[in-house]
Amino acid sequence: MRAAAMRPFSLPPPRAQARCGLRRLRRAARGIAAVTVDSAVERINQCCALLLALATVLLVRRIG
């Protein structure tokens, strides 16, 4: 057997752990940002739809 296989499992050095943690945090932040952007776009779409409905109602009242 190889020596690496014989060694017990150990965590990587602290600096490597910190880098891995930063990567995880960045990934999580990207996910949160994507969700925030999606919800903002959704809110804008809802506002546009509401304004369009309001404009349609006002136009129909004015014509009729």
Tell me: the pLDDT tens digits for 4-44?
555 555 556 667 766 777 788 788 778 877 778 788 889 99
Count helices and strands in the chain by DSSP H and E runs: 2, 0
Q: Which are the contacts of 39, defined by CB distance < 8 A and separation ≥ 6?
A: none
- 2 part of a folded domain: no
- 8 part of a folded domain: no
Q: What is the pLDDT of residue 11?
A: 59
Cα–Cα dist 13/49, whole Å? 54
Q: Specify the number of domains making up the chain.
A: 1
Q: What is the pLDDT of residue 60?
A: 92
Q: Select the more confidently predicted residue: 47 or 20.
A: 47
Range of the domain at 51: 13-63
Q: C-alpha angle 57/61/62, rounded to 5°?
A: 115
- 6 part of a folded domain: no
Q: What is the pLDDT of residue 58?
A: 92
0.85 cut: is pTM over it?
no
